[in-house]
Structure formats: C-alpha cells, structure tokens
Amino acid sequence: MKLDWKLISVATFGMLAQQALPAAAQAQDRRAGPNEIGVFAGQLVGDDIDGVEIAGATPELDDDVAYGVRYGRALTDAWSLEVSLGHSPTSVTRLAGPDVDLDLTTLDADAVWHFAGSARWDPFVAFGVGYAQADLDEPLVGVVGGQQVAIGDDENYTLNAAIGAKYFATERVVVHLEARYRYFDRLLEPVDDSLETFEPTVAVGWRF
C-alpha cells in the first residue's frame, strides 16, 4: 500500500510539472530578454506659468506633441529600470503678441513596478527623477514679483510618476499604453513657480 501511494505521488507531481512547464515557457517567451528599447509618442498637456504676468494675463505652456526614446532593463520579475529621453516642440501662449516657441527636453531615470501580469498584459506603475531643459526662441517681457523683467529659459530637475500597461504582441514586440504626471521645478528664469504637465503616450518596444 505504501508503494501505491508513492506511485500516485510521483504521477501527480509529474502531471503538475508537465502543466507548469508550458506556463513558465510562455512567461519566458513573452519576455524574450531582460532588455527593451523603444520609441514613444503622445501629447503634452500644458499648465499655467504661475508667478509671471504678461499683458494682464498668466501665460500658459501650450498643449503639443511629445515623443522620445526609452531603454529599460528588467532586474527581477517585478522590478525594472528605465531611462528615457523626451522632447516636445511646444510654445508659450496668452501673450501680448504671437506665441513664442519653447522646445522642451527631458531626461528621466525611473523605477518600474510590474504587477498582476498575464500572458499578454503587464500592468505597471513607474516613478523617477530627471533633468529638464527649456529653449525659448526669444525672451518674454513680463511682470515678476511686481517688476517688469526679461524672462529667459532655464534648466532644472523634474519628477514624474506613471501608470500604464504593456501588451506583448509577440515574444519580442511590446506595445505600451501609459499616462504620466510630471512636475517641473521651473522652466523660466527668474520665474520661481513650478509647473505640472500630463502626458498620455503610446510606445512600441523591442525585447532582446
């Protein structure tokens, strides 16, 4: 009787292992390697530039396209690191005259937490810090702190947090859908106020 139980135990273990192996192989297939490189595009939703007044109104960072490249590396099944370089050819609006172009460039380093993944979908949250640089076509003339000054561009740190999901179209091709909140310490000099933006984007990545 003891032998029968041993045989049953071995057979049961073998059946469970046989079922587990395809699931493990499927998880491995959809993550063909620890590295991923891709491109993203979407929209930057701008914010009022508080702390400055031009022609009796508060200027605004306009809504415009945002795009860039991103590299990620998986550290564990749950955690990965990403570095991204982004750009938006936006402008400053609500001025006395025509809008003034402002090229906005960001460089981010983010920690990414993956949770509740399935065979095809991999939801995630991300958070990180980076560097932001604004490039105005020409200085703005406005009132800051009660004094009329020439306002130029600046560079400073930025913080961001995102939520989204990855869809594994194949074992190597990944599509990202995400929404990202971004905080800029400041983009203009001598304006001390911070700005906040919202960036919904779509990305396509290649795993290797």
Structure tokens at 129: 């810090």
Query: Do 47 and 23 fall within a single domain?
Result: no
**Does one domain contain both 63 and 19?**
no
Taking alpha carbons only, the member of 197, 173, 165 closest to residue 184 is: 197
pLDDT score recorded for residue 145? 85
Q: Are 39 and 118 part of one and the same domain?
A: yes
- What is residue 26's predicted lDDT score, i.e. its pLDDT? 46
Reduced to 3 states (helix: H, G, I; strand: E, B; else coil), residue 8 is: helix
Contacts of 7 (CB under 8 A, 6+ apart): none
On whether both 112 and 186 belong to a single domain, the answer is yes
- Are 23 and 38 in the same domain? no
Q: Domain tally for the chain?
A: 2
Query: Tell me, what's the pLDDT at 31?
Result: 62
Helix (H, G, I), strand (E, B) or coil at 52: coil
Domain that holds residue 21: 1-30
> Could you tell me the pTM of the whole model?
0.81
21, containing H or E segment: helix 2-29
Ordered mean pLDDT values, 10 residues apiece, the chain (208 residues): 46 45 44 90 96 92 98 95 98 94 98 90 97 97 90 96 96 97 95 95 97
Local structure of residue 56 (DSSP, 8 states): T
CA 114 to chain centre: 14
| pLDDT at site 62 | 97
Block residue for tokens 């172009």: 101
- What CATH number should be reported for the domain holding residue 201? 2.40.160.20
Q: In this structure, are 137 and 197 located in the same domain?
A: yes
Q: In the Cβ-directed half-sphere of 112, how many Cα atoms lie within 13 Å? A: 28
Report the chain's terminal Cα–Cα distance, integer Å. 52
Instruction: Read off the tokens for 127.
Output: 């958070």
12 and 58 share a domain?
A: no
Same domain, 15 and 82: no
Give the number of other CB atoms < 10 A from CB of residue 137. 12
- How many Å apart are CA 205 and CA 171, to the nearest integer? 11
